[in-house]
Amino acid sequence: EADAEIANVGDIDLINPLSRETRTMRIAVISDIHGNAAAFREVLKDIEQAEVSVVYSLGDNIGYGPEPEAVIRMMREHEIPSIIGNHELAVNNPGFLDWFNPIARASLEKTMGFLSGETLDYIAELPFYRIAGNCRFVHGFPPDSATEYLFEVTPERLAQTLRESTENICFVGHTHELMLVSHGDGGLSKRPLKQETVVLDAGCGYLVNVGSVGQPRDGDNHAKYVIFDDQSFELEVRFVAYNITETVNRIYQSGLPEQHAWCLL
């Protein structure tokens, strides 16, 4: 609730509705690009080959990485709808910088100097969530938090959230780690996702953490994202290789904290 007082609350996608009464949709969901343009470029190529219908970004397109302006430019060129992440939230509201640890704060302060006025205006308009058919897209945790981490939420609250959700599936990011949470007749289930395809049960509620394109924290340095087919209910987890050295060198050259480069290796 507090988050929603700071920026646009949400957006209902009426351009690409995911109604099962219409055509099948293959939805690519990306998150936490974090200024890693090299990773994002390869993910876009992979998405193009996968023939998806629409792409959504869960935010944190900026921060940590050396090319936030290029990432936002590519987002806009490809007309990818995004929601706000905690890093965009801090750019919109500098007082929020105190929420971050010192290294992340230094990175954000540096990042702000890389962004054009046009990009700052774009970031200021990002909503806290999007809804398309039976899918909700939010950065941290539903219904609209850009800051709450999935690992902070108790099993009881997770179950209640999925029980009361008006959408079958909620896609989140923020933790940079792939995760699948489900709730149905058998109760609550939670497990990590790997490079795999999972057939979901249309009668259950799901929360899917889609991992990170540009700053993974799971011990595997591939860029990661998911594709969801709203007709077959298949969830495909994609791992994409990219030129990590290019991003690492750009981080060193940019003056960003070197820890962000070490995380990629």
Q: Which tens digit of pLDDT belongs to each residue from 126-139?
A: 999 999 999 999 99
Please choose, from the candidates 177, 4, 169, 202, the residue with its C-alpha nearest in 3D space to the C-alpha of residue 89. 4
Q: Domains, the chain, ranges and CATH?
A: 3-262 (3.60.21.10)
pTM of this structure? 0.92
The CA distance from 258 to 244, in Å, is: 14
Using alpha carbons, select from 135, 178, 142, 173 the residue that is nearest to residue 160. 142
Q: What is the pLDDT of residues 214-234, one digit of tens each?
A: 999 999 999 999 999 999 999
Residue type, 63: G
Confidence of residue 21 (pLDDT cuts 50, 70, 90): very low
Amino acid letter for position 148: E
The C-alpha R_g of the chain, in whole angstroms, comes to 17
pLDDT level of residue 47 (50, 70, 90 thresholds) = very high
Binned at pLDDT 50, 70 and 90, residue 11 comes out as: low
What is the mean predicted confidence (pLDDT) over 12-35? 69
Return all residues near 132 (Cβ < 8 A) that are at least 6 apart. 12, 13, 16, 17, 18, 27, 54, 56
Q: What is the percent of the chain where pLDDT is above 70?
A: 91
Is pLDDT above 90 for 241? Answer: yes
CA gap 34, 48 in Å, rounded: 21
Is the pLDDT at 14 greater than 60? The verdict is no
**74-115 pLDDT, tens per residue?**
999 999 999 999 999 999 998 899 999 999 999 999 999 999
Strand 205-210 vs strand 11-12: parallel, antiparallel, or unpaired?
unpaired
Tokens 């992340």, located at residue = 104
Cβ atoms within 10 Å of 100's Cβ, excluding its own:
17
pLDDT above 50: residue 6:
no
- 7 pLDDT above the threshold of 80: no
Least confident of 9-23, 59-73, 120-134, 248-262: 9-23
Contact 214, 107 (CB under 8 A): no
- Per DSSP, the residues of the chain read -TGGGTSB--EE--SS---TTS---EEEEE---TT-HHHHHHHHHHHHHHT-SEEEE-S--SSSSS-HHHHHHHHHHTT--B---HHHHHHH-GGGGGGS-HHHHHHHHHHHTT--HHHHHHHHT-BSEEEETTEEEESSBTTTBSS--GGGS-HHHHHHHHHH-SSSEEEE-SSSSEEEEEEETTEEEEEE--S-EEE--TTSEEEEEE--SSS--SS--SEEEEEEETTT-EEEEEEE---HHHHHHHHHHHT--THHHHTT-
pLDDT at 23: 58
Q: Output the pLDDT for position 94.
A: 86
| 143-160: average pLDDT | 96
